[in-house]
Amino acid sequence: MNISNFYKLTLFTFFIAFTITGCKNKERDSSDANLSLKKQNILFISIDDFRPKISSYGETKMITPNIDKLASEGLQFNNAYTNIAVCGASRASIMTGIRPSEKRFNDFSTRASVDTPNAIPLNRIFKENGYETISYGKIYHHKDDFQEYWTEKDGGQIQSDFQDPISIARIENAERGEYGKKQPTFEYPDVDDYAYNDGKITKKAINKLKALKSKNRPFFMAIGYVSPHLPFIQPKKYWDMYDHDAIKLADNSFQPKNSPDIAIEAQHNSAEMRKNYLDIPEHGKLDDSLARNLIHGYYASVTYMDALIGELIKALDDLGLRENTTIVFWSDHGYFWVSMVFGVSIAPLKRRLKYPLLFLHLIILKIKLLHLSPN
């Protein structure tokens, strides 16, 4: 489905308005009418830096059986593009329904509540319509952004909770980067799925679903996975699922014809890898060994995230909540694998802008007017 980001967001806004008001339609059959009267729960799953090179999008590079299953059961958007390919600005845009511009939502550290203090964000819409609003992990870039509209939230993103003693020792002895001591770009210790924070928020979300089942109140639960954002850290069993030597490097590590120099400048000099991670050269391309390790780490991190989502959806099914829950699966932007050679990941090129978007259990009336937005 070829649909612009604006129409995607306005379509979702219409859906929100429909679900939270329990809209009636006399022409629908009685079973649909009864379902429409009951407010839908929303499970809002966010993934960081996820490029949709998975089976449901016609690729076979990464192992994602749970996401592929969700895609087969719902509505998959095949040409969804982010408004801006940096996490803070993209997340602010998605949560408010407002486009980035020259003066707002244009930086990775964007705060929606600062750039657009009068916006009506998604969590506010749901909270003011009687929903419990829960945020675990990374939804907004900053944990306190529009925090007053969550009924429950945790500490936000934890991005570098290394578990391997070798990694921890390297960090302790590392030089300072732009945001603290430099870190390894990947690790794969032999630990269980709950050692990292993404595993912890999955367990927390499952326990919360159990508690919500006994309440007669709809919920908007936002779960924000950091995987597969750098650093690529995950249990060893997910690393072992890939043949390291069979991983292919990008064959287009050059500037696209007629592309603006400013976009390519980002590939070479951004702080994403150059200034914050160990073993990354200050200038020039990465060597093949490091590039292959990074791609391997990205694949493994995606598969780890997929397994956690599988657990979350299974809990929804086991608790009998799936029938009345709409699942929205999205990412803030894609990932540019040539960056594994260039050494950066924020270039505003097509593969960086494209990201996965899935809806499951949508109830939508015939829509003729899509230009709807809370702002």
Rounded-to-10 torsion of CA 276, 188, 225, 274: 20
What's the pLDDT score for residue 83?
Answer: 78
- Name the pTM for this structure: 0.84
Average pLDDT over residues 49-75: 89
What's the pLDDT score for residue 320?
Answer: 95
User: From CA 372, how far away is CA 374, in angstroms rounded?
Assistant: 7
Averaged pLDDT score across all residues of the chain: 80
Strand ranges of the sheet holding 219-225, from the earlier edge strand across to the other edge: 75-77, 357-360, 325-331, 41-47, 219-225, 132-137, 152-153
132: β partners: 219
Report the percentage of the chain scoring pLDDT > 70: 75
Q: Give residue 357's pLDDT band: very low, low, confident or very high (50, 70, 90).
A: low
At 313-339, the pLDDT tens digits run 999 999 999 989 999 888 888 775 544
User: From CA 262, how far away is CA 17, in angstroms rounded?
Assistant: 40
Q: Give residue 286's pLDDT band: very low, low, confident or very high (50, 70, 90).
A: confident
pLDDT-wise least confident of 77-91, 145-159, 199-213 = 77-91
Whether 249 and 61 have beta carbons less than 8 Å apart is answered as no
φ and ψ at residue 359, rounded to 5 degrees: -125, 135
pLDDT-wise least confident of 117-121, 248-252, 272-276 = 248-252
Decide if pLDDT at 52 tops 50: yes
At 63-114, the pLDDT tens digits run 999 999 998 888 888 877 777 778 888 899 889 988 888 888 887 889 999 9
Average pLDDT over residues 197-217: 95
Task: Characterise 144 by phi-psi region: left (phi > 0), alpha (psi -120 to 50), beta (else).
Answer: alpha
Between 51 and 152, the more confident residue is 152
At 211-235, the pLDDT tens digits run 999 888 899 999 999 999 999 999 9
What's the pLDDT score for residue 116?
Answer: 93
What's the pLDDT score for residue 179?
Answer: 84
75: β partners: 359
- What residues have CB less than 8 Å from 258, skipping those under 6 apart? none
Decide if pLDDT at 41 tops 60: yes
Decide if pLDDT at 355 tops 70: no
pLDDT-wise least confident of 87-91, 92-96, 296-300, 341-345 = 341-345
What's the pLDDT score for residue 285?
Answer: 78
Q: Give residue 375's pLDDT band: very low, low, confident or very high (50, 70, 90).
A: very low
At 237-256, the pLDDT tens digits run 999 999 999 998 877 666 66
Report the catalytic residues.
87, 141
Average pLDDT over residues 157-182: 94
Decide if pLDDT at 119 tops 60: yes
Query: Side chain identity at 44, as an amino acid letter?
Result: F
Query: Side chain identity at 360, as an amino acid letter?
Result: L
**Where does residue 195 rank: exposed (0-12), middle (13-18), buried (19+ CB within 10 A)?**
middle
What's the pLDDT score for residue 258?
Answer: 77
Decide if pLDDT at 363 tops 90: no
Question: CB count, 10 Å around CB of 219?
Answer: 24
Q: Which domains does the chain have, with CATH numbers?
A: 5-360 (3.40.720.10)
What's the pLDDT score for residue 231?
Answer: 94
What would the two tokens of residue 246 be? 């069979």
What's the pLDDT score for residue 30?
Answer: 45
For residue 340, CA distances in Å to 13, 134, 293 come to 36, 35, 9
Report the percentage of the chain scoring pLDDT > 90: 49
User: From CA 17, how far away is CA 29, in angstroms rounded?
Assistant: 21
